[in-house]
Chain A
Amino acid sequence: AQTVTQSQPEMSVQEAETVTLSCTYDTSESDYYLFWYKQPPSRQMILVIRQEAYKQQNATENRFSVNFQKAAKSFSLKISDSQLGDAAMYFCASDNNAGNMLTFGGGTRLMVKP
């Protein structure tokens, strides 16, 4: 079974600054995928970024990047140049390559201060 842990229930960042959200996971699989999803007040789940475990290079999507530490089973999300629209719940998730049956962490609420 997979587990995903987000140790920060809430984070705050000043607009235009950088913030890092933490995530650790546990899996016995050798091949798996990791994701960060954003859930704004509209409550829709939006994929922010994904990482294949077999790829050593950290994924990047515009202002969003990850720090994937496979040995430590750590998968943190860095948001650069934070914007007011980044305020949301962020969920870390894993998939053991079984096909979109995601295991989610408990979420981190990100607040962005103007």
Chain B
Amino acid sequence: DSGVTQTPKHLITATGQRVTLRCSPRSGDLSVYWYQQSLDQGLQFLIQYYNGEERAKGNILERFSAQQFPDLHSELNLSSLELGDSALYFCASSATTGVNSPLHFGNGTRLTVT
């Protein structure tokens, strides 16, 4: 068990809808990362937060947004959903922002857009 908790495990919704994915990082970790794993794009980095502030953006669509709250949990909001947004969304956490701080991945949220 990595200590990173993601909810829900599965989510099925329709095109055009909005969903929120939640992540609780490992105890003591200040940095949260979101990754998307899809058949088309593979595994790609979306966005990083550190202690409540956005630190880095990857290939995140404008329809997607995220935030990290004072208690360090994070939410990824996906809106105007399209079929192509169906994917496994991973949250990962690390103690700090440096690469010497290992990433711990959650089990992911499987999003299916119908």
Q: Which A residues lie at the B interface, using CB under 8 A?
A: 33, 42-47, 50, 91, 93, 95, 97-107
Contact = CB atoms under 8 A, between A and B. Distances in A.
A44 B2 contact: yes
A71 to B, nearest CB: 22
Interface in B26-48: 31, 33, 35, 42-45, 48
B88 to A, nearest CB: 7
B97 A100 contact: yes
Contacts of A93: 43
A107 B42 CA distance: 8
Contacts of B31: 100
B58 A44 contact: no
The 7 residue pairs across chains A and B that have the minimum distance between CB atoms: A45-B105, A104-B43, A99-B97, A101-B45, A44-B107, A95-B99, A33-B99
A45 B92 contact: yes
B8 interface: no
